[in-house]
A = this chain, B = another copy of it.
Amino acid sequence: MKSSPKATSGTLHHGKKDLVADWERLFKVFIRPEEDACRETLIKYMEQILFGLNDFLKKHVGITESASLKDLASRFAGTVINDEPVTKLSDVITCLINDLAPHAVNVASPYFVGHMTSAIPFFMVHLKTIVSALNQNVVKLETSKVVSILEKQVIAKIHRMVYAKSDAFYLEHVQNTDSSLGVFTEGGTTANLTALWVARNSAFPPKAEFVGIEADGLSAAFRAHDIDQCVILVSRLGHYSLKKAAGILGLGNNAVVPIDTDADFRIDITALKKAISGIREKSPKIHIMAVVGIAGATETGTVDPLAEMADICKTYGIHFHVDAAWGGPTLLSAKNRHLLSGIENADSVTIDGHKQFYMPMSCGMVYFNDPRHLDVIAYYSHYVNRRGSVDLGIKSLSGSREANSLILDGALKIMGKKGYSLLIDHGIETAALFAAEIEKRPDFQLVTRPVLNILTYRYCPEHLQKQLAAASSDERKKINKRINGANLNLQRLQREAGKSFVSRTTLRADHGHEDDIVVLRCVIMNPMTTISILGDILDEQEEIAKKRLPVCGL
């Protein structure tokens, strides 16, 4: 890699001698370089990565129009793997920085407020690099050793953040090979899947000849327990991964029954109780397998009344899962942790690392109130994960897995509760300021008031707001349809302009009415996103609306 003439990227055979495709060079690629010159080169590459990308990260958000997508697609159409090496590491890095990064999305921009992906602290990149250089596989002790032990400790720390059990409880379970306080997953989707997998298996325990649903299958389980159908109740704001999980688990995604929300977009407790008693009255053959509470709905950031839900689930003996993929880390903030009150009574809780723990993509986790609950999904094998071993892969959806726990552990040490609180509190406070700003502007309507750091609103000129208020049901539908179209275009035009990015979704948000309305959605998690930047975003939207939306009939 060192001191070679600059290879012209794309020229297949240029500089071949410098490249990897002979045994001696291959060796050098694997053996960590000893010579000073080589070490310097490697460090230079890292400098390029850390600061070359930095230049890109300072630019605008860069999700541009579909025309450029087609153009890009045509540039990535070759499908033959090159025989010889085509590029050196330095060329690959240069190419990534100069050609690829400018067409990636600058999720770190403070103007990128559309999704749950944001700037991450720079030290996260260092921690991820360490994980990669160690390349431990936490599926088993033999390929991770101390890292598996560290993982158990981090899991206990987060479990304690959620469940706040006694010192004695944690002393007993933190390093107990029989206990599993939680498990790392690829993300929130597989965390929710794991929780519902555990709930499913717990709902159909062995009975006479039937050895359990995991071994004998769902059909046999239904027969053995005299059940026809299994349902999961969640507010209509439940994440789509819950339906996916029900589909995968064989329950069918129709098993996920959406419950209406109240005026604050929390699950309507009366509706939930009615649904439960309705199902129970309808047939003893329908089993309510789980109720899912949301702590930070993906679309609105709202939090369900977890304490009440937990009480209801306790009464009826239903597994209570909380999807806190988004909101979980709020528990680190002394000021705001009350927003998730009741979460400590959940049977299982999903929390994402790559969301408000600000870890790099991708890391999910799921926690269990009962340290033996994960036993119902245990798998063993002859060559790893043997009975009685410490191997973390025994009770896990994943097989081989990277040591994300090491990143979370480092981050907790570097940030402390206080560091994370600053982030969490900033998001919540800024979202409240932003809501006030939206309400001040006559041509915008706040649709969902932020509880955490997510809110939705729409562009709706003052005169149309008045018309809507006085309209008949049919008229209202027509007006909302026009406003929906306008907001859809507004979001697209702003995205294509490339300076700012808010996302959009569709909510049944017009209370008392059946209208679906298109809303603009903001997720405020970047500490550099100030109220002044959010004001800029609204200004731009007003300008786009005035200049370009008349065509949409507004």
Contacts and interface: CB of A to CB of B under 8 A. Distances in A.
A34 to B, nearest CB: 9
A368 to B, nearest CB: 15
Contacts of A145: 62-64, 69, 72, 103-105
Q: Most chain-B CB neighbours within 10 Å: which of A76, A78, A360? A: A76
A552 interface: no
A235 interface: no
Contacts of A189: 397-400
A141 B27 CA distance: 38
A207 to B, nearest CB: 14
A105 B197 contact: no
A523 to B, nearest CB: 10
A379 B243 contact: yes
A462 interface: no
Interface string A238-263: 00110110111111111100000000
Contacts of A377: 247
A85 B125 contact: no
Nearest to A352: B400
B85 A400 contact: no
Query: For the side of the interface on A, what is the size category?
Result: 35 or more
Interface stretch (A111-119, A264-272, A541-549): A111-119
Interface string A136-179: 11001111111101101100111111000000001100110000
A380 B129 contact: no
A120 B142 contact: no
Given A103-B145, A132-B360, A254-B217, A89 B43 contact: no
A397 to B, nearest CB: 7
Given A220-B252, A352-B400, A135 B416 contact: no
A412 interface: yes
A471 interface: no
Contact of A149 (B76, B244, B247): B76
Contacts of A515: none
Interface in A255-292: 255
The interface centre, meaning the residue of A43, A69, A247 with most chain B CB atoms within 10 A of its CB, is A247
A399 to B, nearest CB: 4
A100 B147 CA distance: 8
A142 B157 contact: no
A29 interface: yes
Interface stretch (A341-349, A445-453, A474-482, A500-508): A500-508
B126 A46 contact: yes
A436 interface: no
Contacts of A104: 134, 136, 144-147
Interface in A1-60: 19-23, 26-27, 29-33, 39, 42-43, 45-47, 49-51, 53-54, 57-58
Interface string A194-222: 00010000000000000001111111101
Contact of A416 (B21, B108, B215, B504): B21
A419 B26 contact: yes
A329 to B, nearest CB: 11
A470 to B, nearest CB: 29
A116 to B, nearest CB: 8
A129 B49 contact: yes
Given A26-B527, A81-B417, A134 B402 contact: no
A120 B132 CA distance: 9
Contacts of A134: 53, 101, 104
A254 to B, nearest CB: 5
Interface string A381-420: 1111100001000000111111100100010111111110
B398 A82 contact: no
A104 B141 CA distance: 9
Contact of A215 (B116, B254, B381): B254
A531 interface: no
Sorted from nearest, which 8 A-B pairs have the closest CB atoms? A250-B250, A217-B252, A189-B399, A103-B146, A361-B402, A218-B250, A383-B505, A21-B418
7 contacts: A26-B422, A42-B122, A43-B43, A84-B416, A92-B127, A107-B137, A142-B501
